[in-house]
Structure 1
Amino acid sequence: MNRVHIKTYGCQMNERDSEAVAAMLRSRGYRIVADEDECDILLLNTCSVRDAAEQKAIGKAGYLQQRKKKQPDFVLGILGCMAQNRGASLLDQLPDVDLIIGTQKFHQVAGYLDNLRAAREAGVPIGQTIVDIAEEPGSQNTIKDHLVAGPDGADAAVADRQVTAFVSIQQGCNMDCAFCIVPKTRGDERSRPMDDIVAECRALAARGVREITLLGQIVTSYGRRDYVHTDGVTPFVQLLERVHAVDGIERIRFTSPHPRGFKDDLVAAYGRLPKLCGYVHLPMQSGSNRILRAMNRPYTRERYREIVEALRAVQPGMYFSTDVIVGFPGETEDDFRETCELFRACDFDMAYIFKYSIRTGTPAATLPDQVDEEVKERRNQELLAILEENSLRRTAALVGTVEQVLVDGRDKTGARLTGRTRGNRVCVFDGPAELIGQMVPLKITRATASTLYGDRG
C-alpha cells in the first residue's frame, strides 16, 4: 500500500506544495504514480480562492469515496486550502475521508500515512479521520524538497532533465483584500531565510535547472520584517540579486507580486539584472478607483498605470499578465467601463479574468448590491474578447522575428519540442530531445493567441 497519486487544484503555490509532498513521500519509500486508477493512496491538494474550485474538489472526493467501498484499504486525503478553510466540517459531506491536512502541515503527510499503513497492516481499526489544520511556526521552511525525476515509472532519461523549477520564498498574506480568503487559508506572512533560498537555487542549478520562479502569496513583501533595506534596496530585490549571481541559472521569474511592491528598486532591477525576464504578472483586480477602495486594494488606477509605464520605460518589450475580478459587489456599468479602459491601455498579453465569487468569512461576502450572475458573465465575456484581441495582436507582431527559447520538454503529443520565450510565450517546434535544457534561437513562423510556432535558426 505505497502507490500515491496527487491531484492538484489551483495555483502554482499548490503545484509547488504537491511537488514537495511527493518528494517527501518518495524519500520515505512511497511510489508516486501518474495514473489515479493505479494508486493505493489518493491525495487531493485543494484550492479555496473561488467556490467553484472547492465544489470541484468536493465532487471529486465524493466520487472517490465510492472506491473505498470496493477497496477498504484505499486511502483518501484532502490537503491544502480547502482543508484549512473547512477543517473537520468537511466530514459532514465526506465522512469517509482519511486525512484532512492544512496548509502549514504538508510536511506531516508522510508521517500520517505511515501511521495509517502500519495500523492497516496490523489489522487495527483506524477510527476517526486524521484532521490537522493547526498553525505551525516555521512551516514555511519545509517546502524545500523537489521531485526532480517525475512520477515513478517515467522515462528517467527525459524526466531527469528538469529545466524549470518553482522555489517557495514566502507563505501567507497580511493584505486583507475584501474578496480574498487566502489570509485565512495560508495564515500570516512568513518568509524563508535568504541563505536557504539561495542554497536551494544552487542545488537546482547543479541538477540542470536553468529557470527559477520565486513563489509567494505576496512575493514582493518577502523579508520585509526580517531584513533591512540596504541603500534603498528592499529585501526582495536583494534576494533577486543573490539568485541572479547563482551560476547555471539563466532566467528568473516571480509570482505573485502586489502593485504596491513595485518601488523604484524593483523597477530598476529589470534594467540591471539580465537574468530577470521581461515579464510581469501584475494583479489589477479592477480599473475603478471606487471598486479598488471597496476591495481594500491600496493603489489607484493612476498608480497602476504609472507602474506599467515605468516598467516599459526600463524594458520597452516588457510583457504583462494580470488578474481581474468582474462583478464585485456594487460594480456599476461605469465602474466596469473604467476597468475596460485600463485593461486596453495596459495592453496585457495574458489575463486571468474571474467572476466574483462569494467567499464566506470575507468582508465582501456581506456587502450589499451583489451583482447578478448574468451581468458577471456578460462582463467576463467582454473582457475575454478584449484579451483575445490584444493577445493575437501581440503574438502576430512576433511572426518573422527570432526569439531566444529555453527548451523545457516535449509537447503533449511527444512529437515536437516546447519551450518559452523570455516574455513567457509558449513555443512549439521540431527538434531532437538533446535540445532540452538548452537556449535556442527560434524564428517565429506562425502565432495563435497563446502559442508561437517556429523553426530553429
Structure 2
Amino acid sequence: MKKVAFYTLGCKLNFSETSTIARDFQKDGYERVDFSEKADMYVINTCSVTENADKRFKSIVRQAMKVNPEAFVAAIGCYAQLKPEQLAAVDGVDLVLGATEKFKIADYVNDLSKNDYGQVYACEIEEADFYVGSYAIGDRTRAFLKVQDGCDYKCTFCTIPLARGISRSDTLENVLKNAKEISEKGIKEIVLTGVNIGDFGKGEFGNKKHEHTFLDLVQALDKVEGIHRLRISSIEPNLLKNETIDFVADSNSFVPHFHIPLQSGSDGVLKQMKRRYLSSLYVDRVNRIRQTMPHACIGVDVIVGFPGETDEHFLETYRFLNELDISYLHVFTYSERDNTPAASMENPVPLKVRAKRSKMLRGLSVKKRRAFYESQLGTTRTVLFEGENKEGYIHGFTENYVKVKYPWNPNLVNTLQLVELTEVDVDGIVRIKFVERAVTA
C-alpha cells in the first residue's frame, strides 16, 4: 500500500480541503501517514497570506526530501495558483496544481516516479467556477466545515480573489449532509468556514443569484440532530445581519462567538482598502451583539501599516478598538502582494513603524482578552475538552470562547461539562471547578 503525507499552511479552509483530498487518496488505496514519516508522496497545501511563503515552502520540501529523497512531491493551494512556476522551480517538486486542479490530483499522479522538473497545471482563475465541498476533523473534538469558496470583493490588499476565484457556495443540501456525517463521527463542534461565508448562497458558474441566504444556512444547521455546537468562524460586518445575530442569540446549537474583520478603525484607510463599510457600521454590529448576548466573545481582524496609514490614522484605529467592547484581536502586519492595487500605492509605511504598531495592538489584545476573561469569572459555562495533555493539564473552550484548563484526565476528552470559571492563571488561561452534573458524556 502506497503512503501519502500532507502538510497544510494557512487557514481553516485549507485544512478542510486537505482533509477531503486525503480521504480521496484513502479511497484510492493509499495509507495516510504523518508528514514526519516516510511516504511515497508528499502533498503541500500552500497559502498566499503567509509571510515569506516561498521560504516556508522550500523548507517544507527539504523536510520531506530528507525523510525520503525518492518521494513524489506535489504543491497545491493558493500560492500554487498565484506563483506556480516559482514553486515548480524548487528542487524536489514534481507537480504543481492550481485552484481547480487540486481536487483532481489523482488524475495528475502517475506511477509516482520523480520528474526532472516540476510540472505545472494551473488554469486561469476565471475558470475556477465550480464548487467542491469539504470538511476537516482536527483533534476529534471539532470539525471545520467548508460552506463557501472564492470572493467577489475587490479589497486592494488581498490576493484571495486571484487565488480562489469568484464567490460560490455549496448547496444547502450538501452542507447538511456533511454536517450529519460529522455528527455521526462523534464530533461535538462544527466551525463553519469559507473565504466570505456571509455571501453564502451564490451558485456555481458565476451565478450571482442567491439560492439561499446565510440566515437560511444557520437556521437549517441548527436543526441537525447530534451537533452540540456550531461556530461561525469569520464573517464580514456588512454581511452580518440583525436577523442572524438575533437567531444565534436564541439558537439551540450556535455559540455566542463572532469573529468580524475590521482591518482599520480609520474611515480614510477603509476607503483606500475598498472595504464595504465604515467604522460606524462596525460599532453598530458590536452593539447589536452586546444587546442580545452580553457574554458573547467578539474577535477582530486588523491590519497595521497599510500604505498611507499615518500616525493619526493608526491612533484613530487604536482608540477605536480600545473603546470598543470586544474580546481579542488578530493583528496582521501589512505586506505587499504582487498584482494588488495596494502594492503600488504611494507612501508605504516603513517596516520598523509597521512592527511598532503591530506590537502596540498585540499588547491591546492581551489586555482586552484578560478583561473579557475576568468578566466571566464566577459564571457557569459549558466546556468542550480537547485531547492533548499539555504539561499535566487538559484544555478546552467554553461556548463563548474562554480558554480553560484542568489537571489532566483522559476521561474528559471530547466531553461537554458544566463548570464554574474561578480565576485567571498566570499563563492567562482560566482555572475552573466542576458543577455537579455533566451535560453529556
TM-score, normalising length: structure 1: 0.87
* Contact 1:427–1:452 under 8 Å retained in 2: yes
Q: CA separation in 2, counterparts of 1:11 and 1:107?
A: 17
Instruction: Check the 8 A contact 2:16/2:134 in 1, yes or no.
Output: no
Structure 2 counterpart of 1:260:
238
Question: Which of 41, 60, 70 is matched with 1:73 structurally?
Answer: 70
> Residues of 2 paired with 1:273 and 1:297: CA distance?
30
* Counterparts of residues 407-422 of structure 1 (less than 5 Å): 407-413=385-391, 415-422=392-399
Amino acid at match of 1:56: R
CA drift of 1:213 comes to: 1.1
Work out which of the residue numbers 106, 124, 133 in structure 1 matches 2:122. 133
* Counterpart position of 2:96: 100
From the superposition, tell whether residues 297 and 227 of structure 1 become closer, same or farther in structure 2 (CA, over 3 Å). Answer: closer
Is 2:397–2:404's contact at 8 Å kept on the other side of the alignment? yes
Which residue does 1:144 correspond to in 2? Answer: 134
TM-align CA RMSD = 2.4
| Pairing 1:210-221 to 2, within 5 Å after superposition | 210-221=188-199
Task: Classify 1:381/1:58 alpha carbon distance in 2 versus 1 (closer, same or farther; 3 Å).
Answer: same
1:187 paired to 2:182 = no
Structure 1 residues 50 and 434: CA distance shift in structure 2, 3 A: closer
For 1:97 and 1:229, locate their aligned partners in 2 and report how far apart those are by CA, in whole Å: 40
- TM-score, L = length of structure 2: 0.90
CA distance in 2: counterparts of 1:56 and 1:227, whole angstroms = 37
After TM superposition, the structure 1 = structure 2 runs for residues 176-255 of structure 1, keeping only pairs within 5 Å, are: 176-224=154-202, 235-255=213-233
Cα 1:132–1:273 change in 2 (3 A) is same
SS, match of residue 56 in structure 1? helix
Distance 1:248 1:22 in 2: 25
Task: Return the offset for 1:85.
Answer: 0.6
TM-aligned CA deviation for residue 341 of structure 1:
1.3
User: What is the Cα deviation at residue 30 of structure 1?
Assistant: 1.7
Which residue matches 1:154?
A: none
Please name the residue that 2:439 is paired with.
none
Partner SS for 1:418: strand
In structure 1, distance between residues paired with 2:251 and 2:215? 10
Task: Assess if the C-alpha contact under 8 Å between 2:301 and 2:331 holds in 1.
Answer: yes
Which of the residues 107, 111, 114 maps onto 1:116? 111
Q: What's the CA shift for 1:183? A: 0.4
Partner of 1:328: 306
Give the match for residue 421 of structure 2: 444
Alignment-mate amino acid for residue 102 of structure 1: G
1:43-62 mapped onto 2 (5 Å cutoff): 43-61=43-61
If each structure's helix is expressed as a fraction of its own residues, which one has the higher value?
Answer: 1
Aligned mates of 1:410, 1:166 — CA distance in 2: 18
User: In the TM superposition, what whole-angstrom CA distance separates every residue of 1:42-74 from its partner, at most 9, and x where no partner exists?
Assistant: 22211111443343223433x348649xx5521
Cα deviation for residue 343 of structure 1 reads 1.0
Give me the whole-angstrom Cα distance separating, in 1, the residues matched to 2:59 and 2:380. Answer: 46
Q: What is the alpha-carbon distance in structure 1 between the residues aligned to residue 64 and residue 143 of structure 2?
A: 33
Q: How many aligned positions are there? A: 429
Q: Give the share of equivalent positions with the same residue, in percent.
A: 26
Higher share in strand: 2
Please tell me the residue identity of whatever aligns with 2:229.
Answer: R
Pick which of 380-389 and 271-280 moved more: 271-280
Deviations 1:399-421 (A, max 9, x none): 333221122323345x4433211
Q: CA deviation at 1:31?
A: 1.9
Residues 1:339 and 2:336 aligned together? no
Q: Hey, what does 2:29 align to over in structure 1?
A: 29
| Partner secondary structure for residue 52 of structure 2 | helix
Distance 1:76 1:450, change over 3 A: farther
Cα contact 2:96–2:119 (8 A) shared by 1: yes
Instruction: Tell me, yes or no, if the aligned pair for 1:51 and 1:358 is still in contact at 8 Å.
Output: no
Deviation at 1:3, TM superposition (A): 2.3
Three-state SS of the structure 2 residue aligned to 1:45 is strand
> Match of 1:289?
267
AA of the residue aligned to 2:404: C
